[in-house]
Amino acid sequence: MKMEYTNFCGLYYLSCSHYLITNLYTMRYLAFLLTLLAFFPLTAQISTISSTDLFPNELEGWSKSLETQVTFDKDEISISAIAGDATLMSVEKYEDFIINGQCYLDEETRGEISFRQRNAVQESSMSVEFKVSLNHFSDQQNPTGSIIDMARGTWLPSFDTAGWFDLEISALADHLQIKINGIVVAQTFNRRSLTGHVGFRVPKGSLLRFRNIQISTVAEVDLGVDIRDHFDSHPSTPFEIIFDGKTTAGWSAQGDGTWEVENGILHGFSGNKGGFLVTENAYKDFHLILDFKIKKEDNSGIFIRRSANENEVTLQNSVECNIYDHNGYAHAYSTGSLATYARAWSNLISYESWNTAEILAWGDQIAMYINGIKASHANLPKFNRPGNICLQGGIKIFSADKGPSDIYFRNIRIRSLD
């Protein structure tokens, strides 16, 4: 992550500097450069100040419970429990860092890596602020790579067989990100704790194995503004009703399917191919709130930032905020997910009553809330642009005839900061 931020920023400033030099006598380019410097403070300041083995002198600088057994063999460390749960914790606290290494996983592996743990009371669950799951085969709600009960990890096909895999845990300011084999499987933004200990927990009967595990500490990361706080800081910007409850004025239908309005409710019927209802206006930075109702196994979604010059709605030209549950806990991107980018937990909605969805889009950050619970959050620079909002009629993807399905929306309003 450090290199991604640094390289991007370096290229950006190099380009702007050349722009300034070639137009040295024109003051408007100086103003342009200063504006860019103010806009990109975070990426400019990230720099690694040290990178070292997490266990440079074996267990020096670590505390462990009496039940914990730790063995070292060259670059490998094994943690197991003699009785009860094994716990191992760093004496040092870490603020902004990236942990890299390899972990071994099989059907018997269960455990957790905690970080930014506020105090060293290992037995107190309240001391653990963030926990990364290493429990892929038995916990479908929090599979390996999940930040437990906060950001659900993607279910990777590569975990069908046991073996070593690359693991990266990144905590930079409030941006938390987990990578497995180079793939981002979970990420979120959270300020519960900004510094703390690193720890390991292994339940009785399990064994965690790591090798080549290192930690790189990072300096001068600007915390910035939280996405919800950003919108709350604009109280003078009101919500605008974009569905009048009587017509589809301000929207246009695309694809197959029909859209009808009755008693303030927008009813989308997919037909056999599916379709969308698309806003005529484009929105970039906004807070969207709406109510929805759907039958179990029916499929819908809210696609945002769809390129204005596109005629179709796809995962390539927009971000899908999903409304769809099919296969219980094992469903790839349950309702509340940012499809293919951030995975929500299962069972967040009711099929018997109305549900409320909120989507916050600000710069490269997009977050989705379901019934007041943050379901997913990701930074997506590719989609940092204005675009249409598209309501999906949807289809029953896994049914034999691929349709039809129904979706109901009401109380659609948006607060735009564009």
Question: Pairing state of beta strands 265-269 and 258-262?
Answer: antiparallel
Same domain for 245 and 371? Answer: yes
Look up tokens 């296969």; give the residue.
Answer: 327
Q: Which residue has the higher pLDDT, 35 or 309?
A: 309
Crossing angle of helices 2-21/27-39, nearest 10°?
170
Least confident of 19-23, 193-197, 340-344, 356-360: 19-23
| pLDDT tens-digit series, residues 371-405 | 999 999 999 999 999 999 999 998 877 677 667 88
Same domain for 243 and 381? Answer: yes
Give the pLDDT confidence score for residue 123 in this predicted structure: 45
Looking at 219, 252, 278, the residue that finishes a domain is: 219
Output Rg (C-alpha) for the chain, integer angstroms.
24
Domain count, the chain: 3
Q: Which residue has the higher pLDDT, 128 or 184?
A: 184
Going by C-alpha positions, the residue among 295, 291, 317, 294 that lies closest to residue 304 is 317
Same domain for 110 and 200? Answer: yes
Give the pLDDT confidence score for residue 346 in this predicted structure: 84
Residue 295 region by backbone torsions, left for phi larger than 0, else alpha for psi between -120 and 50, else beta: beta
Same domain for 193 and 302? Answer: no
**11: its two tokens:** 């290229």
Give the pLDDT confidence score for residue 395 in this predicted structure: 80
Note whether residue 320 is domain-resident. yes
Looking at 219, 246, 272, the residue that finishes a domain is: 219
Same domain for 149 and 202? Answer: yes
Same domain for 195 and 326? Answer: no
Note whether residue 224 is domain-resident. no
Going by C-alpha positions, the residue among 6, 10, 34 that lies closest to residue 20 is 34
pLDDT band at 126 (very low <50, low <70, confident <90, very high): very low
Strands (E), 22-139: 47-53, 62-64, 68-73, 76-81, 86-90, 97-105, 112-117, 130-133
- Residue 396 domain boundaries: 229-416
Same domain for 387 and 293? Answer: yes
Helix ranges (H only) for 49-133 are: none
**6: its two tokens:** 């640094």
Looking at 190, 219, 248, the residue that finishes a domain is: 219
Question: Pairing state of beta strands 112-117 and 130-133?
Answer: antiparallel
Q: What is the 3-state secondary structure (H, E, C) of 258-322?
A: EEEEECCEEEEECCCCCEEEEECCCECCEEEEEEEEECCCCCEEEEEEECCCCCCCCCCCCEEEE
Phi, psi of 175 (to 5 degrees): -90, 115
Same domain for 246 and 380? Answer: yes
CATH number of the structural domain spanning residue 71: 2.60.120.560
Same domain for 75 and 143? Answer: yes
Same domain for 292 and 397? Answer: yes
